[in-house]
Every structure is written in structure tokens, then in C-alpha cells.
Structure 1
């Protein structure tokens, strides 16, 4: 019976998909041929780790609008598109790409601010914690960032600088091994760390150590404790590698979110009978600290500053303290924070589903013909067919056999048949660490590849230090803004050329949109669209610079890829694909402000990154500190770095040598 049902349904769905996409949709939106029929095309690009490069090439070939899926359009080329898609009040909401981030807790979806697709729920959650990320609180976090920065500098000096200690000396993960590192808390509160052998003068894997810095500085900001990456010089408990695997999972599955819902993380049968919950070291660490702070609160801490001892955990200016204070102040309100919400805000809403088993993966044949897989597949087909027939909306974009093949290939590469949640909802730790590390790598790489730019920045730093305009080796945030304009330009250029998140920022076109008010009265023969309708009320009438509009019907997924958009000559000049920090120092203030408003490194609109100010603080602290302390040179100047895109850009092959200045 089951096989007969599949044999009847699959051909019908295949025929419907082919007819709808090939005969009913106009060819006004150009793009790859196979993208008209299946979302597997864009999933394959992400699977191959180079979607940003392919997207850029497609926009160069086809123009501002490129079809990347049956119901999916990438937009680029004009600064006027950003407010129309991401502007406040436009009504476009996050797509189901972000639903893959969500976890299942007690049988229900649990989303962080990043993964929340419900705008009302997002606004309510953001209202509780937004003050902790505001620009006014930035100065309170500076001491925490500086503490980790100084520890990072001391560690690099002792392990890699040519004039450092003798070879074969051993440095343990003990934070008390140096005066600077001793600024952090006791070692028993750190994650498990191993020892590292020093060899002064050897090559430094800068890409790896910048990741260590990013993790530990987020640990300081979140808990007032580093996580032990810098001191140990290792990937503590394999956390970084595990997070990389998790990004591999949701970046690919996010292109076809129904796979996650039907077969993997969100399938209720799978969640109930197959998914095993194994707590990660970070989550255990966070739970232990939260429990300790709650015990302090019960003893009377956290309220009156006069009653706090110097060592009272509630006197620390970290995120955990702020969230606990919010809960205390609103204990009797409807919006009081729970322990689960606090952990959710401390982490990012990503369903870190990855197997840590060393055993061989089961054969794909056994998975495809298991009762679990067949029941899930049949249920999914029936539900989507009913939805398609009654709503007359295009919800099943790819023939089932192709989906199955994609599922098998992903399963084979990432071993997704034995998933587990690595953490609960990780916001600061994962989102903050990966994006900051990616940006830092890019800034140092481009500086080292452009000696004239590096020399200009070093000269600015030396002159400011000589004139006592900045603190050495760690300038303050205020000093960088007042006395280091070229440094600020370098950081902006790094954010432009290397936006850490380099897949389209997806939004779903609503039934009504503010952009359509004038479009309805000015429909012309030049107005074209996916649905072949111009200026109708249900959808988005995207205005181009030439005055024409392209209509996207409700339900269309559109988005701008920051990597592509930041290379638009119309927005950033004829040299948009080149490293040129001086573009940000132009005397034309209007043009410079326009470029700043066009940056999508932290998103745009009301869903822009809440931690933007914290990220900028970290960048403005470490970059000058490194260049004031060390002379940095590429160990292999002829090498090009390796860049892989699994939503977050990950770079490798940046080996350098250090010498003290």
C-alpha cells in the first residue's frame, strides 16, 4: 500500500512542478536553468562551500535580479533595494531558513533572537535585553575585552615571538601562569585544557588563534571568565570543530528547510524516538555559572550595590549579570526571564546537530528503507500535497527523488543520522565567536597582502602613541574613534570585503507591502514579475533606479547577499572588489555616509545584529594592540588563503611570523 501510494504521488508532483515552473512562470527573472525547478541547486552551492563566489558571478552575468530557486530571488546592485526589503514597516519577515536554527524543547520550538521568525515574539524578547547591547553600555565591557586582549598578546609573545623565552618550555592551560592571564577567574571554572609546547619564532596559525581569541573574549563578556582556548592553545573539547560541523548542517538544510522538518531535527517521530540529548561542555559550564549566580541572589546579592562585596558575582559587568538583574527586577511581571531564556540569550539559536560517534555511519540503504524514513517521507508528501492543492501555493518546489538524493549525500558527508543538540540555544558564544574571528582574519590578511596599507596603519599608530594620544598596547574605544581614523577605515573595509555572513539575508514577501502604494497607480508595461502581474496589492513591487518596478507575489523569498552587494560598483565605486580603506576617508561626507548605511555586515533594519557595538569594540581593541606589540609578516607570502562559506565565512592558511617591536 505504501509503495503504491508513493508511485502515484511522486509522478504527479513531478509533473506539477515541471509544468508550473517551466510553462507558467515568465522568464523575466534570469538565472541558472536548474534553479527554475529545484532548490537543490542552491543547496548544492552551499554544500560545495562557494555560494558567495557563484552568486557574484551570476549577478555579473544576469544583473541585479537572479533566480536561485523556483520561488527564490537574489537581489543586488542598488542601494535603494536595502530599505525596500529590510526597512522597518515593510512587512517582510525572515524565511524558514532561520527555522533550522530553532531547537525543540519539550516538544515545542524554541528560538533565540536570531532564529525567531515571529516578529511579535522577537520584539518582546528583544525588549527585555536590548539595553545590555546598547552603545551606552559599551564602556562597561571594555575592561573585559582588554583583559582577554592582554592575555592574548602575552601568550603570542611567549609562544611565537622570535625574542621570546627559550624553546621547549611548556605552558599549561593554567590562567595563573602569567600576570595578565591571572586576571581571569579560577581554573576550575574553565573548560578542560591541555598543555602546549612553546617554540619561539615558529610560524603562528593566525586563523586558528584569532578563533581562540574570539571564543575567550566572548566568554569574558558573557561570564567574566575565559573558556581556556588561549591558554591551552587548543580547540578545547573539540568545540570549534563541532560548531563548524553544525554550521555545515544548517547552512545546507536551510536552503530546503522542509528536510529538517520532515526527516531530521524537527520531525516529531525522530525527536521522540531517535534524538539523543547530550549536553556540551559549554552548556554545562553555563549552567554551573548560572546556578552559582542564583545561589548568590538567594543570599541577597544582585540588588543594592552597597551590600555587594568586591568579589560579588553580581558586581561584574557581564551579560549573565545583566540578564539576572532583569529577571530580578521583573520577577512579578508577565515578561520575567526564565533560566531557559537566560541560557538562550547567552547562546545562539542554532540546533547544533552533529554526531560525535567514532563508529561507522549506517549505510544509506538502511536509512532510506527504515520505517522511520518511510513514515516521515509519506507523511510529508501527503501534507504538502494537501497544502498545495487547497492553498494553490507553490510549497513543494523539488521532486521527491532529488530531495532524497540530496538527503543521502548530506547524510554521507556530515553523518547526520545520529544527531544530538550540542547546545540549547547559543547566542553570544557561537554567533559572536565565528563572526568576529572571520572578520579579524580578513582584516589581518588584507593588511599583510597590502604592505602599503599596513605601513600606513602602523605609522598612524606609532605617531598617536608617540604623541600620547592612545594607550599602549591597548587603545581605548574613545581613543580609536578620536585619534585613529585610518584604523577605523581599515575595519570598515574589512567588514565590507569580508561580511562574516555571506548568504542572502532571506525575507518572505507579504501579501501587502508599503512599497506597493504608488506602484498600483503607476503600473506600466515595463513592470514585470515572477507571477507575471505588475503592481498588484498582494506582494512587493520592487522599485529600480530607472523608475521601473518588478513585482514579486506574496510568498516569494528574496534576499541580498552581503558579499555580492558589497562588491557593487554602483554603491562602492569602480574599485569595489579591491582593498582600499581610503574610500572611507573621502572628503565627500554624503558619499561616505551612504556607503556606511549600505553596509550589511551586521544585517539591516530592525533585525540587524544586536551585538554590533560589542563586535566593533573587539575589532578596535585587538587590531591596534597586535600591530603596536608585534611586527607581523606572512610566513608564505605566495600563499592565498582558503575561504569556505557555510553561512559564516571560515578562512584557513594564514600562517605568520611574529617579532617584538
Structure 2
């Protein structure tokens, strides 16, 4: 009887909780999946784990409109005015604890290497996972010049070997086929290229992916695992449970432990500090790669050098986020070209004409040349629009006073966010053909319309503009025109699905 009373009590509490969320909660008027309306986070967790979150959320908005309840206290919107308010510079919409899951790449791993003294269980947040707006701004101001376009242009020459290595591995596959053509997994080699470029720009050497033709350390699997598991953990409301979820998933399901990210960052940074120490102050590296620039940073006020800890955190961020998202952009770029032969032909003509006219180096595109190719740039923007670097929502807490979304009022403290994938397919922003891949929209638009569309590409909302954007622009502008000149691509019969979207 005692156990029966306990079970009855639990059942009564659950029913009361569900009834409250369905009929009396401040978000109860909002439509959404039943689990969310019952006050459960299952919808977000399930679709993040299945890696179909972006498409599932798109279906929800197609069904229910521009404002949907997707969790107990989470709302997704596609309202353009709300987007401006949520991500505007200097606003009061602060990051939610969703982002803290993405510091798990290093969280707790430092104590496994006791001799370093670099990490505690409460690791410093990286740029993405820092939710304190003042601390984020301070770190951003300190690091911004390292990611600046001028800094990338100074390192441009070191990207050239990566482009040549990519062409070389494609040539070798063609030669091995004895048929003047070969079937290759372009997404794999483009990810190899992207990671090798990160190695050159960030650490002074590539990671031997293209030259060897294989990921011997299985590092790319570690970055995929880390991003996927952190995304699932991010959907858990409890901060305590986020950490346990991430570690649990890593132990139970990881083909390659996310700890590999920490170990690579530790190895690269430790080696550079040892090299710098042996060389002395006068023996600084001639190549001012990103790691060298991080080491040279000084804290404002005290003018003391940036700690090894902070350098490690930033390098880990580059290793994790700097390569995977760009690789998706590169793969998606060619995917849409191959699915739209008209676009491919038009782009090929522009590139060929630019070489003939001397506006583009036939031996390898320079960044300054590629940015002047109008149709090429339109193709990049359209690819970023249709397949953005993130599919999940980028949530913020609603500040005091609430937020009006059409006929709904979202109360203070609610998590509200926008999915770039869903928003960038909104007809009110990009026209009735928003679902269609059509680069011409960027050339046909007036200057005012073009500015509005560019601001609606949510890789760069407000003060959180992606610092790695210039790395991606350098990588894409160097390799894509060069590939278009060197090889002719055709879609393989097995390539029928959309490119995977990160998270």
C-alpha cells in the first residue's frame, strides 16, 4: 500500500504538471509538438540526436506559423522584426545556458593530464560558449584582430599548398582509374582541405590529411562527435545534467573520443611554447600564424601575456569550429552546382572569361581576384543562405518587459531563438521562391534589398558575428574557382540527399 501511495502521488504530480503546461502556463497559447506543450524537452533532444533538427523545425513552422513552442520554456520564431530585436547590437537579450554545453570540449579533461596545471573542472568558456556579455566582449576585443581579414590575407600564401594538394589527390584518383575520370567522395576531400588550411593558418603546418589521403588519427570523427553530443547536451534544461549527458554520450557512443580535441590542442600549444622558450625572445617564428598571435596577446590593464590556458581554449575552438562548418559550405557549394547544371555552366563561363581577361590567375585563384567575381560571390551567398553553418536555434533569454510576437506575448525569462536554416527560407525575407537555390537573386536585388538580405544571413547576428567568417571566406575563395578551372564534376548516382547541416 505504501508503494501504491507513492506511485499515485507521482502520477498525480505528473498529471498536474502536464495540465498546468497545457492550459495554464504562460506559453500554453502557443502551438507546437505535444511533448513541448506538456512541458517536456523531448522534441528538441530527439531531433538533435537524430541530426534532423533543422528539417523537423522547418516542418513545425510550415504547420504552425512563425511562432512555435519547442520546449518547456523555449520558443522558436521566424518573425523578421523579432530577429532584429533578439540579435541587435547592445540589446538585453542575453545568451541562455544552452551555450554552456559547448565548453564541454575541454571541460574536465584537463585533470587527466595532472602535470600541466592548465585546466580545472570549470574550464574557461570559449568565444561561442561564453554567456556573460561583458566577458564575451572583452575576449572578443582582445582576439578580433587575429581573425581579421587583413590577418588572413597576410597568411594567404600558406593556403596555396593545400589547394595544390587537393588537386594532386584528385589527379591521382583519375590516373588510377585509367579512364580520365574517377568516383570520389568530394565531401571527404573538401573536409581534408578545410582542416589542412586550419593547420596552416592556425599552427604553421598542415595536418597531413591531403598529402596522406587519410585521417590517420581519426580526428575528424572526434570533432563530429563533440559537436553532435554537445548539441544534444545543450537541449537539456539543467546545467548539471548537460555535463553528465555530454560525458555519458561520449563514453557510450563515441567512435573516437572528443578528448582528442583537447589532446591535439595541448600538443600543438605545448610544442610551440617549448620552441619559443628554446629560441628566446629573438627567435620568434617568422610566420605569424594564429597561434603565434594568440601567444603575443596581452591582458589589457596589466599588460601581462595571455595565459597558456586561454591560448589553449582559443586553439581548441579553431580546431573544432573552424574546419567543420567551412567543409559543409564547400560541399554544399558543389552539391548545388551539380544539382543545377545551368548555374554550373554560368559560373564556369564567368571563371573562364576571368582567366582569359587576366582577372583571375589560372594557376590558382587569389582572394583579391575571387571576391570580384560577381556570380561566384552570389553562389557563395546563396549556398550560405540555403545551407547555413547552423541548423539549431540560437537562443536568448527574453528580457524584462517581454517580447511581442504577433498575437502572442512571450514573458521575461523565456528562451527565444531563431534557426538560420529555417529563417533563411522565409518568403517574407527572401521572396516566394525562398526554398529555391537561385544565385541570381543576389544580382537582381537593389542595393537596399541586397543589404537587407545580407543582414538576414544569420551567420553574423549582432555582436556575435562569427569571427571565423574570414577564415571561411579565405578558404572558399581560394579553392572553389581553382577547382572549377582544373576539374569537371558530375553528380554521382548515389548522391541524392542534402548535405548534412552541422548540429
TM-score (norm 1): 0.68
**1:255 pairs with 2:235:** yes
- Equivalent residue number for residue 440 of structure 1: 330
State the alpha-carbon separation in 1 of the partners of residues 426 and 466 from structure 2: 22
Aligned length: 482
1:497-576, aligned counterparts within 5 Å?
497-511=386-400, 537=401, 539-542=402-405, 550-576=408-434
Paired residue for 1:317, among 277, 288, 292?
Answer: 288
**1:88 pairs with 2:98:** no
Provide the secondary structure at the position in 1 that maps to 2:238: helix
Superposed displacement of residue 231, structure 1: 1.7
Q: Relative to 1, partners in 2 of residues 1:4 and 1:551: Cα closer, same or farther, differing over 3 Å?
A: same
**1:23 pairs with 2:23:** yes
**Does the 8 A contact of 1:216 with 1:228 survive in 2?**
yes
Provide the secondary structure at the position in 1 that maps to 2:488: strand
1:613-628, aligned counterparts within 5 Å?
613-628=470-485
Paired residue for 2:447, among 589, 593, 611?
Answer: 589
Superposed displacement of residue 556, structure 1: 0.4
Q: Relative to 1, partners in 2 of residues 1:241 and 1:281: Cα closer, same or farther, differing over 3 Å?
A: closer
Paired residue for 2:497, among 633, 641, 646?
Answer: 641
Superposed displacement of residue 283, structure 1: 4.2
Q: Relative to 1, partners in 2 of residues 1:46 and 1:457: Cα closer, same or farther, differing over 3 Å?
A: same
1:328-343, aligned counterparts within 5 Å?
330=299, 333=302, 336-343=305-312
State the alpha-carbon separation in 2 of the partners of residues 132 and 485 from structure 1: 28
Paired residue for 1:489, among 354, 358, 378?
Answer: 378
Structure 2 unaligned blocks of 5 or more: 109-118, 249-256
State the alpha-carbon separation in 1 of the partners of residues 82 and 243 from structure 2: 36
State the alpha-carbon separation in 1 of the partners of residues 152 and 190 from structure 2: 22
**1:143 pairs with 2:157:** yes
Structure (1 or 2) with the greater strand fraction? 1
- CA deviation profile, 1:161-217 (whole Å, cap 9, x unmatched): 3xx3687xxxxxxxxxxxxxxxxxxxxxxxxxxxxxxx9743101111111111111
Provide the secondary structure at the position in 1 that maps to 2:80: coil
**Does the 8 A contact of 2:74 with 2:414 survive in 1?**
yes
- Equivalent residue number for residue 379 of structure 1: none
Provide the secondary structure at the position in 1 that maps to 2:489: strand
Provide the secondary structure at the position in 2 that maps to 1:632: coil
State the alpha-carbon separation in 2 of the partners of residues 10 and 336 from structure 1: 56
**1:44 pairs with 2:46:** yes
**1:108 pairs with 2:79:** no
- Equivalent residue number for residue 116 of structure 2: none
- Equivalent residue number for residue 62 of structure 1: 64
Structure (1 or 2) with the greater helix fraction? 2
Q: Relative to 1, partners in 2 of residues 1:14 and 1:262: Cα closer, same or farther, differing over 3 Å?
A: farther
Superposed displacement of residue 558, structure 1: 0.7
1:450-465, aligned counterparts within 5 Å?
450-465=340-355
- Equivalent residue number for residue 209 of structure 1: 189
Structure 1 unaligned blocks of 5 or more: 168-198, 270-277, 348-426, 512-536, 648-661
Provide the secondary structure at the position in 2 that maps to 1:551: strand
**Does the 8 A contact of 1:165 with 1:200 survive in 2?**
no
**Does the 8 A contact of 1:144 with 1:220 survive in 2?**
yes
- CA deviation profile, 1:22-62 (whole Å, cap 9, x unmatched): 22136532112222121112211222222211211221221
- Equivalent residue number for residue 115 of structure 2: none
State the alpha-carbon separation in 2 of the partners of residues 590 and 476 from structure 1: 29
Superposed displacement of residue 17, structure 1: 2.0
**Does the 8 A contact of 1:509 with 1:552 survive in 2?**
yes
State the alpha-carbon separation in 2 of the partners of residues 228 and 335 from structure 1: 35
Asked which structure has the greater CA Rg, the reply is 1
State the alpha-carbon separation in 2 of the partners of residues 92 and 596 from structure 1: 22
State the alpha-carbon separation in 1 of the partners of residues 153 and 301 from structure 2: 31
State the alpha-carbon separation in 1 of the partners of residues 482 and 501 from structure 2: 28
State the alpha-carbon separation in 1 of the partners of residues 379 and 151 from structure 2: 24
State the alpha-carbon separation in 2 of the partners of residues 432 and 58 from structure 1: 30
- CA deviation profile, 1:396-455 (whole Å, cap 9, x unmatched): xxxxxxxxxxxxxxxxxxxxxxxxxxxxxxx11111111011111111000011111000
State the alpha-carbon separation in 2 of the partners of residues 590 and 62 from structure 1: 31
Superposed displacement of residue 474, structure 1: 2.0
**1:290 pairs with 2:180:** no
**Does the 8 A contact of 2:365 with 2:479 survive in 1?**
no
- Equivalent residue number for residue 297 of structure 2: 326
State the alpha-carbon separation in 2 of the partners of residues 101 and 226 from structure 1: 25
State the alpha-carbon separation in 2 of the partners of residues 603 and 165 from structure 1: 43
**Does the 8 A contact of 2:191 with 2:324 survive in 1?**
yes
